[in-house]
Structure 1
């Protein structure tokens, strides 16, 4: 299918500065595109994900959205959801939206901050997590070049779900997190076998401030500058560990070591399995 006339928008999410955040492609009218065409567009762009609106009901502000990395379709993507919601809000007006995705219904609220860019807040599907198995943890550490002593014993490894699955590993020091030089092929093969979208590598600066890095070899990308789905999974992880006793807002700083700083705001409630992830998005020069 010829995609030369497809209108592709470029936004960067979880930042109000075009030089930061995670770039995403957005196609607001993809009703006529088949799977191969969407994959071609995503591969040509080369961003970690591109979102495609394949059906729309503007009166109800409800949209069907699919996500593609350069290598394959992805069930859910947080930063492309924020980018798409902001693109729609700029054209339809701020307010609530609903996205129908492969993992279920994802409500997204949009608002324009005074003097700032448009902000989008997605509500994840119910989150879950489980302890990481010894074999899957060993294979991950080997591919990363990490040692078990590099991990924070207060934050145990768990596989967390917030739309897609992520292995959450907490580094003991900021220096360990900053020194990321992993075996791309080995980690990608292991993650495909495990069914993980990214690794959520974090360092906890304080109870409400985390720094994160997210390798994404299964999508053909070395690292994501901002990962909304992983932030939702991290929120569920913190709740499941009993670290959230009351409604709490956690900030995740990501992309700093890549030169594309991103800020993700994660709202948690110990009585709600869903997690709310918010951030700005702005057009990204091509």
Structure 2
């Protein structure tokens, strides 16, 4: 049975829709990809094995399998119900806790941050139709990882973020060549508050309304560059420009390498 949830929201009209298949043990890879394409959501999660509270979970976009997906993890965990769950993903083990209010908190695999080569930055800016002078010098371009790879670009203007209009073939080709899952585009609205957008052409989707994997990677980026405290709670707003508001909470805990990402999920009917 295919279930449909909206993640990182209290309303079915907000957040990022995800398909959830809690028993995919008999589905082939082509069939899982076909289901994901039929749904048309940025990702659908498939539970292919279960051993107690340990679950083998795979994620498919309409075009390809992805190693990890945060919003579909939140949706799947909420569908499973309150308690502690361990998801075994292509990126590694991801613990997820669900409380009685329907809020799920995942802990990412250890994050990493790498330089974004100048040639890749130039190509990325070209595909986005952005100018280097619009970038925020306080949040330097990097490639961040917490289960999937996401280049991080921050701008000084909320209006520039709102006016997203990228070259789809060019960005898709660049992301495919570099193994990037989404692009984390950022505007810092305060010390712990950020507006973000995530193009996802490699998945067959123009943009994600909420991207938990990128949120985890961004938390690792901020901590790795010393831009926030080792103990920090961050608030990410996403999806507003798409008419699907999403709210993502990122928590960094000193001494814990994984990044905690929290949000609610609700059935879409």
The size of the alignment, in residue pairs, is 269
Distance 1:152 1:270 in 2: 27
Post-superposition Cα deviations, 1:212-268, rounded to whole Å, max 9, x if no partner, equal 000000000000000000000000000011022241100000000000000000001
**Correspondence for 1:70:** 62
CA contact (8 A) 2:110 2:259 kept: yes
**Correspondence for 2:44:** 50
CA contact (8 A) 1:128 1:273 kept: no
TM-score, length basis structure 1: 0.93
CA contact (8 A) 2:20 2:46 kept: yes
Distance 1:86 1:246 in 2: 28
Q: Secondary structure at the match of 1:17?
A: coil
**Correspondence for 2:72:** 80
Distance 1:44 1:95 in 2: 31
**Correspondence for 2:84:** 96
Q: Secondary structure at the match of 2:86?
A: strand
**Correspondence for 2:15:** 21
TM-score, length basis structure 2: 0.99
Alignment of 1:1-286 (within 5 A): 7-57=1-51, 60-89=52-81, 94-113=82-101, 118-285=102-269
Structure 1 residue 270: Cα displacement: 4.5
Structure 1 residue 272: Cα displacement: 2.8
Distance 1:246 1:84 in 2: 29
CA contact (8 A) 2:192 2:235 kept: yes
Distance 2:245 2:30 in 1: 32
CA contact (8 A) 1:244 1:270 kept: no
Distance 1:228 1:265 in 2: 9
**Unaligned 5+ residue runs, structure 1?**
1-6
CA contact (8 A) 1:75 1:163 kept: yes
CA contact (8 A) 1:268 1:276 kept: yes
Q: Secondary structure at the match of 2:259?
A: strand
CA contact (8 A) 1:156 1:169 kept: yes
**Unaligned 5+ residue runs, structure 2?**
none
Distance 1:190 1:172 in 2: 24
Distance 2:253 2:227 in 1: 11
Structure 1 residue 41: Cα displacement: 0.3
Distance 2:216 2:237 in 1: 14
CA contact (8 A) 2:215 2:250 kept: yes
